[in-house]
Structure 1
Amino acid sequence: MSDAVLIETKDAIALITLNRPDKLNALNYDLIDRLMAALDTIETDAGIGAVILTGAGERAFSAGADIREFSGTVRHGPNTAIRDFVRRGQAMTARLEAFRKPVIAAVNGLAFGGGCEITEAVHLAIASDRAQFAKPEINLGMPPTFGGTQRLPRLAGRKRALELLLTGDAFSPARALEIGLINAIVPHDELLPAARQLAGRILRHSPLAVASIITAVTRGLNMAIGEGLQVESEQFAAMVPTSDLREGLAAWIGRRPPSYSGH
């Protein structure tokens, strides 16, 4: 695995660190590809039940796309830019959004552009009180391209999202919490412990049930409610023959803690 992405596993939690601190953890093509490879590895590892995603260094979660690299791609025209830049970034955020193990962003600093889009895409997010967010793509004469025009309005509402998208102004963790971009703000030194504590609260439960909830919510948000309810029904039906559901019911009836096998 490239040093652009670091992975550390402890207590069934994989800590992924975006590791280009000298570039404010800018998302170049190599880093995105390495992050996708890391997710592929984690997905099939039965010993990992949750993911925390953070940035290296004290300044940034990720300041967004690597503009110098992207600029070179743009010079080759729209077809190349779409193929190499847009599709790669959209695939990354879609992968994070649909990942069947919970992904928690631990936003330790700047989350601008693509870094903000990662925060939008992951399932849960906790921010340091030193974090700062922005949708600055308009300052480059372009819209966001990693899903920001779609996910932020779904999180924040159309008018609040458009204010951020059309001004490019930076905003605080408090504003991010208010609009639903993050779940909590904690003191900087408590960021990773808080993310681990949140992951631990999830890991108490059946991994199959966790995955089914993530899938139902992620798919259902993009459907009419009737279609979403059908997805919910399908996810429940998939749980019915599992030992996890039988164990959960038996533990509740027997007034004891459940012990899930993930089968």
Structure 2
Amino acid sequence: MSDPVLFEQHGKTALLTLNRPSKLNALNYDLIDHLVRCLDECEAREDIRAVILTGGGDRAFSAGADIEGFAPSLRAGQETAMREFVRRGQAMTARIETYPKPVIVAVNGLAYGGGCEITEAAPLALACEEAMFSKAEIRLGFAPPFGGSQRLPRLIGRKRALRMLLTADPITARQACDFGLINDVVPKGKLLDEAFALSGKIAEFSPLAVAACLGSVTRGINVPIDEGLAIEAGYFARMVPTHDLTEGIAAFLEKRPPCFEGR
């Protein structure tokens, strides 16, 4: 059987592809576990500075949870459902949200349910013009379990989020961009090119500074401003003794390109 997540390295960027196109890249346990393992491996590699996450085939990024696969856990009762289904899915989206390297989601089609929740968790996201986003869990009799009821309102506002959650109505890529769910809409044929251009630009900066930006925003966004400023100051303090900060300042003063080493 093919791996549920495909890995390719392009320069300093890892391309991870959800690889269940016949199932619209629906998230089953194997895919979720494999994706987390891939992220672990990419984090450990110094030669990888950014990750692009996209879907296999030309129809979907991910149509959401593979309900047929999850149904036995749900039928087994609350304890099993929480352990095998909810906690696993929440751990996946939390891993993406707190990842110390930029994760860029390239939405190449449908992003429903869990596919939308991955997009919500990622720090950056691009989508093709044909992409659609939906929170359709209510059709199945439950609320989003992988973080969607919490992240979506924070991204697009309470009333917009509740309309999506309570009606299951999809929104277009342009609406998702206008709402703040994604960064930009691009032609489908240029989606990965644009994602690689974005990752390449970020990868030229200090990986320590990139991680500090990601951590400061992610940890500080939902706390009072005083706590957020303390978080920001803490990340800056960590950078002061590093080679990359010294090099960045020296390069600026000497009017030359910096050479960041991630130390």
Structure 1-normalised TM-score? Answer: 0.99
Q: How does 1:9-88 map to 2 (within 5 A)?
A: 9-88=9-88
2:170 corresponds to which residue? 170
Distance 2:217 2:207 in 1: 15
Partner of 2:204: 204
In structure 2, distance between residues paired with 1:33 and 1:173: 28
Counterpart CA distance in 2 for 1:204 and 1:77 is: 49
Give deviations 1:115-148, integer Å, cap 9, x for gaps.
Answer: 0000000010000111111000011111000000
3-state DSSP class of the match of 1:88? helix
Residue 259 (structure 2) pairs with residue 259 (structure 1): yes
Equivalence for 2:113: 113
The answer as to whether partners of 1:2 and 1:34 remain within 8 angstroms in 2 is no
Residue in structure 1 matched with residue 137 of structure 2 by the alignment: 137
Tell me by how many angstroms 1:224 deviates: 1.2
**What is the Cα deviation at residue 223 of structure 1?**
1.3
Match of 2:6 in 1: 6
CA contact (8 A) 1:50 1:103 kept: yes
Rounded Cα–Cα distance in structure 2 between residues aligned with 1:225 and 1:29: 38
SS in 2 for 1:61: strand
CA distance in 2, matches of 1:175, 1:10: 31
Counterpart CA distance in 1 for 2:225 and 2:87 is: 28
Letter in 1 for 2:208: L
SS in structure 1 opposite 2:171? coil
Q: Does 1:99 align with 2:112?
A: no
- Alignment TM-score, normalising by the size of structure 2: 0.99
State the Cα distance separating 1:155 from its structure 2 match: 0.3
Distance 2:96 2:2 in 1: 19
Q: Which amino acid aligns with 2:16?
A: I
Please tell me the residue identity of whatever aligns with 1:117: E
- Once the two structures are overlaid, the 10-residue window that deviates more, 234-243 or 197-206, is 197-206
For residues 178-200 of structure 1, give each alpha carbon's deviation from its aligned partner in whole angstroms, at most 9, with x where no partner exists.
11000000000000000000111
Q: Which amino acid aligns with 1:250?
A: A
Q: Pick which of 207-216 and 69-78 moved more.
A: 69-78
- Distance in structure 2 (CA, Å) of the matches to 1:82 and 1:194: 38
The whole-number CA distance in structure 1 between the counterparts of 2:89 and 2:222 is: 19
In the TM superposition, structure 1's runs of 4+ consecutive aligned residues that sit over 2 Å from their partners are: none
Distance in 1, matches of 2:60 and 2:76, equals 30
Q: Percent identity?
A: 60
Equivalent in the alignment of 2:193: 193
How many corresponding residue pairs? Answer: 263
Distance in 1, matches of 2:66 and 2:226, equals: 41
Q: Which amino acid in 2 is paired with 1:261? A: E
Note the residue ranges of structure 1 that are not aligned, 5 or more in a row: none
- Structure 2 CA distance for aligned equivalents of residues 108 and 20 of structure 1: 14
Letter in 1 for 2:46: A
Tell me how far apart the structure 2 counterparts of residues 221 and 69 of structure 1 sit (CA, whole Å).
Answer: 35
Q: Deviations over 1:235-256 (max 9, x none)?
A: 0000000000000000111111
Q: Quote the offset at 1:222 in angstroms.
A: 2.5
What residue ranges of structure 2 are gaps of 5+ in the alignment?
A: none
Return the alpha-carbon distance in structure 2 between the equivalents of residues 155 and 222 of structure 1.
11
Superposition deviation, residue 2 in structure 1 = 6.1
